[in-house]
A and B are shown apart, each in its own frame.
Chain A
Amino acid sequence: GLEQAFCSVGVKRNIDDPRRADIYNPNAGRTTTLNSQKLPLLRYLQLNAVRGVLHRNAFVAPHWNMNAHSIMYVTRGNARLQIVNDRGNTAFNGELRQNQLIVVPQNFALLIQSRSENFEWVAIKTNDNAMVSPIVGKTSVFKGLPEEVLRNAYRVSREEARMLKYNRGEEMVVLVPHSSQSRGRA
């Protein structure tokens, strides 16, 4: 049984190949996730990995990891990171450079903006199917909330609530810098 379970099981998978990207936006960057659905051994390890590349000034949408801690290690470039704890206090607000690492605890909110041509990182997460909950964008919390809830929660007009829901359109996770987006529209 052990032989069948472990000896023939796959143990590696490339996540640096851009053609394997799960989320890709030519103007913002890409992310590739390796979870236990792609590499079953990870179910046993209870870990997964995410490879990310972000172009200059592009963002990773504000989000939180729902069921895992994330250990981020920078392989190239630098970016500004803001991490917020459960009391709404800024736990980290600074730059992360090549060869530096930061631990993002579960549920803490995270916002990343690339400061270099290409900011590249790998994140090891402590769950084989780590889930992320973005605050804006296509699969976001804001999009899932009724307008009335947004209106009353933030004391904003209907138009503003609609902007919060739809301003980022179909973008998900990696976001184009707003200024270049405006230029694109113009």
Chain B
Amino acid sequence: GSQSRCRIERLNAQEPRRRVESEAGLTEYFDEDNEQFECAGVAAHRRIVQPGGLVLPKFYNAHALTYVVQGKGIFGNVMPGCPESFQSFQRGDPRTSREEGRRGRSERDQHQRVDHFREGDIIAIPAGVAHWVYNDGEQPIVAFTVLDTSNNANQLDSNRREFLLAGRKGRGQHLGVEPREDSDDFNLLSGFDTESLAESMGISRDLAEKLRGRSDDRGEIVRVEGSFHIVRPSRREEGMSEGEEREREYEEEERERERRRLMAN
């Protein structure tokens, strides 16, 4: 079937055909029905995340690679069974416990690894793995993503699928000659009834209703109000100023360039 879709006589430059706007950004999708994408068994999109924007947790039905065209931020891939290795406290340390006690429990957290990224980075996102992104920079993040829907990791049909774990996807606008709108997509939890969700998670009905997010109209990229404190290593915590940090990064890049030049020789 896929081979017959590859009888292409003429190739065309493609531009995004559908746009979905959110509170703090937008996503533009390339036309998956185009024979070029069908032949290659891939889907592609471009996402723009405004400063302070958070791409809500979601996963794809296929492996994906993202190239960061512009901006910087942090992201996390959440793999089931991996340890919550980023911790803001140490159990059993009496000094830490006392300190925590003074500050109250409000600042404690532990979660899986998070990573920084910046312009020029490639980020790998395995199929079925939940991930999120936060823009902690001063300019919008622009990221280009390709999903390999024909890979064996995707056992569904060749359509791209995004499974939201929170929020809800706004109506898509088709760009071009016949502009039209899609219907809304909701998050996975919204498909469970409130009672079952509350009971299985051991939470109140009110909180379960919030998880379902039926009345959440912020979209899939939301604006973070106030600060966004998560546990992550920072060079500045080691007493390094922002200028020194940039200088260190520049030196590392120089070393990397030199290493590559020597390898080429």
Contact = CB atoms under 8 A, between A and B. Distances in A.
- The answer to whether A and B interact is yes
A80 interface: yes
Given A86-B162, A158-B106, A133 B130 contact: yes
Q: Which of A69, A107, A135, A143 has the most CB of B within 10 A?
A: A107
Contacts of A69: 155
Contacts of B185: 86-88
A58 B127 CA distance: 29
Interface in A28-80: 59, 61-62, 64-69, 80
Interface stretch (B94-102, B221-229, B246-254): B221-229
B46 interface: no
B61 A149 contact: no
Interface stretch (A6-14, A116-124, A173-181): A173-181
Interface stretch (B5-13, B25-33, B77-85, B235-243): B77-85
Contacts of A145: 57, 76, 78, 111-112, 130, 132
Interface string B159-199: 00111111110000000000000000111111111001111
Contacts of A163: 202-203, 207
A126 B153 CA distance: 11
A85 to B, nearest CB: 7
B166 to A, nearest CB: 4
B263 interface: no
Kindly name the residue among B82, B167, B185, B200 whose own CB sees the greatest number of chain A CB atoms within 10 A.
B200
Nearest to B210: A154
Contacts of A86: 61, 161-163, 185
B200 A88 contact: no
A21 interface: no
Nearest to A88: B186
Task: Pick the most buried of A62, A68, A80, A89: most chain B CB atoms within 10 A of its CB.
Answer: A62
| Chain A interface helix/strand/loop/mixed | mixed
Given A66-B127, A88-B185, A144 B82 contact: yes
A98 interface: no
Given A82-B191, A144-B79, A107 B128 contact: yes
Interface string B202-237: 110001001101001000001011001111000000
Contacts of A136: 200-202
A64 B191 contact: no
A178 B190 CA distance: 20
Contacts of B84: 143-144
A93 interface: yes
10 contacts: A64-B163, A67-B153, A86-B185, A88-B185, A106-B61, A107-B163, A145-B111, A149-B132, A153-B167, A163-B207
Given A88-B168, A105-B156, A144-B79, 10 more contacts: A61-B200, A62-B200, A64-B163, A65-B128, A113-B196, A133-B130, A145-B78, A149-B132, A160-B207, A175-B202
Interface of A: 59, 61-62, 64-69, 80, 82-91, 93, 105-107, 109, 111, 113, 126-127, 131-136, 139-141, 143-149, 152-156, 158, 160, 163-164, 167-168, 175, 177-179, 181
Closest 6 pairs between A and B when the two form their complex, measured CB to CB: A88-B186, A84-B191, A66-B128, A153-B166, A144-B112, A144-B78
